[in-house]
Amino acid sequence: MHNDHRALGLAVPSTADNAVAIAKGAPVQPVTLVRPHAAARAARFFVEKFPGRSMYAVKANPSPDLLHILWDSGITHYDVASLGEVRLVARELPEATLCFMHPVKAEEAIHQAYFEHGVRTFSLDSLEELEKIVRATTWNGVAAADLTLCVRIRVSSDLSKLSLASKFGVMPDEAKALLFAARQAADALGICFHVGSQAMSPDAYAQAMERVRAAIVEAAVTVDVIDVGGGFPSVYPGMEPQALERYFETIHRAFESLPVSYSSELWCEPGRALCAEYSSLIVRVEKRRGDELFINDGAYGALFDAAHIGWRFPVRLLREPDSRAKDMAFSFYGPTCDDLDHMTGPFLLPADVQAGDYIEVGMLGAYGCAMRTTFNGFGSDQTVIVTDEPMASLYVAADERVASNVVTL
């Protein structure tokens, strides 16, 4: 983390107690707030309570600082989806175990991951991908004998907010042949799936595990790894999931009922759940037009999801003393010249918010930083460590949580 010298605006400290203290410095550009303690707490929760191995899905937030926080908190395995992510984690955490879990990869990427970075675990959902992996890991005519191959099966995303059910996953009528072929090439065979992002019910995993059971029974193969993927939720306005322990209990029961549970490992791939609480963003209101606020970050920045998929994030006005006006619903426009730079919300803020005010947008650790661009010349890399609690949390007991404006409409 660093102070960013800018031609406009005041420098802000690299560490602060909370967002209000930073807003008092009147920063001109958006400021990202990071909470290392929140990410560390989430990692320890998964390490200690998930009944198997947890590996971080790097795509959710590839920040090197975050990778080190998770490693220091007990996360030793990392789900990488590209050669770029392979190189990143290998450079930052040379002792980490990398699992290349994108089901469709370039042959050159597989080759480099295997021979240069020690990657031994790969996912796939087709015979073509299996053949590609075998070719790419063969040397001088000798096929690799140390591969862990995870066959991704297609499962429903009906109980999740964002579907991942159409792009990847072998169909049930094709799973038997692929599992049998992968068994021949693998030292260890796995079955993996993804229930979709932000799964709102543990039943999503129970239903998916029934698909796993059917695939194992039909293929009649020995399976060494059951990977339940990601999808573990965080807290957002209108999306308050059950406690994560309920998800873990459901997964554990379903795993124990499988015919291979006695000899298999159980894995998961949390992304959002490990990093959503890590970051928030301070933005400035540049203009108000009725119930529309023009702010200095948006669809091409950290608020990509708010614009493109209508994701709602918790917000709060950073003003002292606190406003006494009632909350009303606002939409946001971002700073670019593009009409698409619009976030419908609704975002609940005091009715007297005005130009020059600062707003904190919470729960942006997952995908917010990862989706940023500098389109139209806008963007900011100013980052400050804060020590207060995130605006919402699944890891803090209810009686310990600070007040937030996460409201169910």
Average pLDDT across each block of 10 residues of the chain; the chain has 409 residues. List them in order. Answer: 40 72 92 97 98 97 97 98 98 98 97 98 98 97 97 94 89 94 97 96 96 95 96 95 97 96 95 97 97 95 93 95 95 94 96 97 92 86 92 76 36
At residue 286, φ and ψ (nearest 5 deg) are: -95, -20
C-alpha closest to that of 103 among 137, 149, 157, 136: 149
Euclidean distance between CA atoms 195 and 157, whole angstroms: 5
CATH entry 2.40.37.10 includes domain 15-35+278-400 = yes
Per-residue confidence (pLDDT) for residue 9, from 0 to 100:
44
Tokens (6 digits) for 92: 């930052």
CATH entry 3.40.630.10 includes domain 36-275 = no
Per-residue confidence (pLDDT) for residue 16, from 0 to 100:
67
CA angle 277, 244, 236 (to 5 degrees): 40
What is the location of CATH 2.40.37.10 in the chain? 15-35+278-400
- Cβ-in-10-Å burial (0-12, 13-18, 19+) of 218 comes to middle
Per-residue confidence (pLDDT) for residue 12, from 0 to 100:
55
C-alpha closest to that of 191 among 173, 176, 203, 207: 176
Euclidean distance between CA atoms 36 and 43, whole angstroms: 11
Distance of CA 103 to the CA centre of its chain: 18
> What residues form DSSP beta bridges with 283?
359
Q: What is the DSSP letter of 230?
A: S
Report the 10 Å Cβ neighbour count for 100.
Answer: 26
Inter-residue contact 30 to 281 (CB < 8 Å): yes
Cis peptide before 314 (omega within 30 of 0): no
Per-residue confidence (pLDDT) for residue 396, from 0 to 100:
85
Tokens (6 digits) for 175: 């799973």
How are beta strands 15-16 and 188-192 bridged, if at all?
Answer: unpaired
Q: pLDDT, tens digit, for every residue of 264-303?
A: 999 999 999 999 999 999 999 999 999 999 999 999 999 9
- Cβ-in-10-Å burial (0-12, 13-18, 19+) of 124 comes to buried
What is the location of CATH 3.20.20.10 in the chain? 36-275
Per-residue confidence (pLDDT) for residue 165, from 0 to 100:
86
Per-residue confidence (pLDDT) for residue 399, from 0 to 100:
38
Cβ within 8 Å of residue 296, ≥6 positions away: 28, 29, 30, 283, 284, 286, 334, 335, 378
Helices 64-72 and 83-92 cross at an angle (nearest 10°) of 60
Q: Tokens 């899905």, residue?
A: 57
Distance of CA 62 to the CA centre of its chain: 10
**Dihedral angle sign, alpha carbons of residues 397, 403, 405, 408:** positive
Tokens (6 digits) for 63: 């920040």
Tokens (6 digits) for 191: 């079955």
Euclidean distance between CA atoms 106 and 110, whole angstroms: 6
Task: Give start and end residues of each alpha helix (H) in 25-171.
Answer: 36-49, 64-72, 83-92, 107-117, 127-136
Inter-residue contact 366 to 275 (CB < 8 Å): yes
Euclidean distance between CA atoms 14 and 21, whole angstroms: 12
Per-residue confidence (pLDDT) for residue 314, from 0 to 100:
97
Euclidean distance between CA atoms 393 and 273, whole angstroms: 10
